[in-house]
Amino acid sequence: MKVEGRRNNSRKRWVSELINPITRTWDEEAIRSCCAPADARVILSIKIPVRASEDFIAWSAESNGIFSVRSAYRVGVNPTIQRLSQGQSSSEPSGDRSIWKMVWEASVPQKLRIFAWRVATDSLAVLAGLHKRINTVNPTCSICGQIAEDSHHALIRCTLARALRDETRKLWRLPPEEAFEYNGKEWILQLLCSISKSDRPKVIFLLWRVWHHRNNVVHGDGKASITASALFIVNYHRSFLAARYPLDQHSSEDPLVHTKWIAPTEGSLKANVDAGWDEVSKTAGLGVIIRDHKGQVILTEWKHIQACASAEEAELQACIAGIKHLISIGCDQAIVESDCLRAVQAISSSGQELSSGWALCNEARDLIRVFGSISICKVDRVSNGAAHVLAQLGKSGFDSLLRGEGPSCVSELIAQDCN
């Protein structure tokens, strides 16, 4: 990180001068006295390792700390896209990827994803773009003849685009017209950000068909019907969903799809853990619930974390909390389950961890190494509901630990898990 500036003429020059050598924790008073508030909040959220270790170089733009060309590209993209991409969750720890996931993971055919990417990168062969390369090309829209044809005009403002959108509204529920207004070069990313997940595929299908219809008018015979295009969009979307998500895909007979909590073997315990993180306040909450093979609650905990740098670190702290509780209880065999794949992989791996949560990862590995009867594994989020609710309690600022029972807000989830 780059420090914005100092609050006063502090003579401190080294990071070690901001750390209490006895407790190996940050000297909060010293940090807040010499650093700007924003810097102090970020510094205090950095986890200091429990034991001394050698420094190492890591690439901060990748969650695993390893350089990649893809992450270097993300660093260099338009700052507006970076700003739109901010925000993390335990399922999406690398916030700067999320905005492009709306395009590349949209529930549409691959050719439509490529089309949406071309729109987002201003790569469509619109007349305004051609005019920049060949100044003899007239940039005015050849359909409505009103203004220069950029991607937003061709897909949204042109009379043809409006007509197809109005006709499609008779068959589909689309976002309000205000959502389609131009708000900058990244208008399509802004649009996809502002609408619901279920509406995004519909909008991409619609814009793709508008472009197809526009090409038919400009380069084809121009006989394509607005009504027929609207019906085509709806039928194409319905056929795609039927092919991709058959009715029996998630049958209860499928052994790979677990929709409920699975009890541990007799004589062992299972700790389900989860975390929630707030990017603005750099705070988090963790939740832990430990149960036996009968589903009986041994312990529940929810805790608020004042300083936490990322969603991944919050998940690692939740794993550590679960491991420590299992160790304190004492058990021949125990399992820790988390729905954060990155945290599970980091703890399970034997290689050097280069991510920002390396200190927490090493602490978890050390605990498991000493008490070898504990294993950690990934669980589906649906099967981790009780821990998720407890984590949200912690995120709200509450702390508590109960033995032999859980709070009333998770009693129904616990009962469902046992049935």
Domains of the chain: 107-244 (no CATH), 268-418 (3.30.420.10)
Per-residue model confidence (pLDDT) at position 88? 40
The rounded distance, in Å, linking the Cα atoms of 286 and 393 is 8
Amino acid at 77: V
pLDDT band at 77 (very low <50, low <70, confident <90, very high): low
* pLDDT of 303 above 80: yes
The rounded distance, in Å, linking the Cα atoms of 309 and 87 is 12
Average pLDDT score, the chain:
82
* pTM score: 0.52
User: Please, which residues have CB within 8 angstroms of residue 343's CB and are 6 or more apart in sequence?
Assistant: 312, 315, 316, 319, 357
pLDDT, greater one: 40 or 258: 40
Return the HEC string of the chain: CCCCCECCCCCCCCHHHHEECCCCEECHHHHHHHECHHHHHHHHCCCCCCCCCCCCCCCCCCCCCCCCHHHHHHHHCCHHHHHHCCCCCCCCCCHHHHHHHHHHCCCCCHHHHHHHHHHHCCCCCCHHHHHHHCCCCCCECCCCCCCECCHHHHHHHCHHHHHHHHHHHCCCCCCCHHHHCCCCCCHHHHHHHHCCCCCHHHHHHHHHHHHHHHHHHHHCCCCCCHHHHHHHHHHHHHHHHHHHCCCCCCCCCCCCCCCCCCCCCCCEEEEEEEEEEECCCCEEEEEEEEECCCCCEEEEEEEEECCCCCHHHHHHHHHHHHHHHHHHHCCCEEEEEECCHHHHHHHHCCCCCCCCCHHHHHHHHHHHHHCCCEEEEECCHHHHHHHHHHHHHHHCCCCEEEECCCCHHHHHHHHHHHC
Instruction: Please name which of 129, 150, 132, 133 lies closest in space to residue 141, comparing C-alpha atoms.
Output: 150
pLDDT cut 70: percent of the chain above it: 87
pLDDT band at 52 (very low <50, low <70, confident <90, very high): low
CA 123 to chain centre: 27
Q: Which of 285-289, 293-297, 379-383 has the highest mean pLDDT?
A: 285-289
Burial profile 167-195: b = 16 or more Cβ within 10 angstroms, e = fewer: bbeeebebeeeeebeeeebbbbbbbbeeb
Q: Mean pLDDT over residues 340-360, rounded?
A: 83
